[in-house]
């Protein structure tokens, strides 16, 4: 049975004052769910106990002359257990290719962390009927050999639904997650156990409906993870699913 994961991505938001929200989230985190926050790297060592912690990105090298970058071993040293890879904002803003993402996933694994691999299609790709082709291509190109349920989580985030207030319909999410599950089972020995998260304007109001879908094992939540009042109802909906 895949693990239930409520993951929050704070993106480039949060100073020390935001730790109060993290503490409130930790205090109210439900049993039976891995409640995880990926804060800015500056806050990672300060995050409270009771939450799993993750990095938002890492450089594929373990160290070196890479000014402004952060390595996976540094994230592990700061208390992270997970790290995102391949988020659409990284692919778009930093020009990261599938090969770049695969190198990052390998680095995340080498540091003993779990990779949360993000894949997703643009609106133009969906309207052209290419959603599954794009997702399978990203999965093939971004996931190195050696993926297991312990070291890998897959997050489906349609690019057109990230931060827009739009959300894929339950029928759309169900179709994609079922197809991804089938592909993982075909490709990997533990493909049936790898957690599949949905991300893209997940909120308290739509969480229960999304988490009721068979192959949705949790959510990767953006803006709604910044406050405990918004994030905890999502985590509780997952616990009750």
Residues marked active site are found at: 87, 157
User: Is 223 marked as a binding-site residue?
Assistant: yes
Q: What does 146-188 look like in DSSP terms, one character per residue?
A: T--TTTEEEEE--GGGSSSS----HHHHHHHHHHHHHHHHHH-
Task: Pick the closest to residue 180 from 120, 220, 103 (CA basis).
Answer: 120
Q: What does 74-85 look like in DSSP terms, one character per residue?
A: HHHHTT-SEEEE
As beta bridge partners, residue 144 has none
User: Is 222 marked as a binding-site residue?
Assistant: yes
End-to-end CA distance of the chain: 13
Q: Are 168 and 212 in contact (CB under 8 A)?
A: no
As beta bridge partners, residue 59 has 71
Task: Pick the closest to residue 25 from 227, 239, 238, 205 (CA basis).
Answer: 227
User: Is 201 marked as a binding-site residue?
Assistant: yes
Strand ranges (E), 98-160: 114-119, 152-156
Residues annotated as binding site for substrate?
A: 9-11, 163, 201, 222-223
Residues annotated as binding site?
A: 9-11, 163, 201, 222-223
């Amino acid at each position: 049975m895949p693990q239930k994961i409520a993951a929050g991505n704070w993106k480039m938001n949060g100073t020390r004052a935001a730790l109060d929200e993290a503490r409130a989230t930790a205090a109210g985190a439900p049993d039976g769910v891995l409640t995880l926050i990926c804060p800015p790297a500056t806050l990672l060592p300060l995050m409270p106990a009771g939450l799993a912690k993750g990095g938002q990105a890492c450089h594929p090298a373990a160290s070196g002359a890479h000014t402004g970058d952060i390595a996976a071993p540094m994230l592990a040293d700061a208390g992270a257990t997970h790290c995102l890879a391949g988020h659409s904002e990284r692919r778009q803003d930093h020009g990261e290719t599938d090969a770049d993402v695969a190198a990052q996933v390998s680095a995340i694994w080498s540091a003993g962390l779990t990779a949360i691999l993000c894949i997703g299609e643009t609106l133009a790709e969906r309207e052209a009927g290419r959603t599954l082709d794009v997702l399978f291509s990203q999965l093939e190109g971004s996931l190195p050999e050696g993926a297991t349920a312990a070291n890998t989580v897959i997050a489906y985030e349609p690019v057109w639904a990230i931060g827009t207030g739009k959300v894929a319909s339950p029928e759309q999410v169900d179709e994609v997650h079922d197809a991804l599950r089938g592909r993982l089972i075909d490709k990997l020995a533990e493909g049936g156990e790898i957690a599949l998260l949905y991300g893209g304007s997940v909120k308290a109001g739509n969480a229960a409906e999304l988490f009721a879908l068979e192959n949705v094992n949790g959510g990767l939540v953006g803006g709604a993870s910044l406050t405990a009042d918004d994030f905890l109802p999502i985590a509780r909906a997952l616990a009750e699913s």
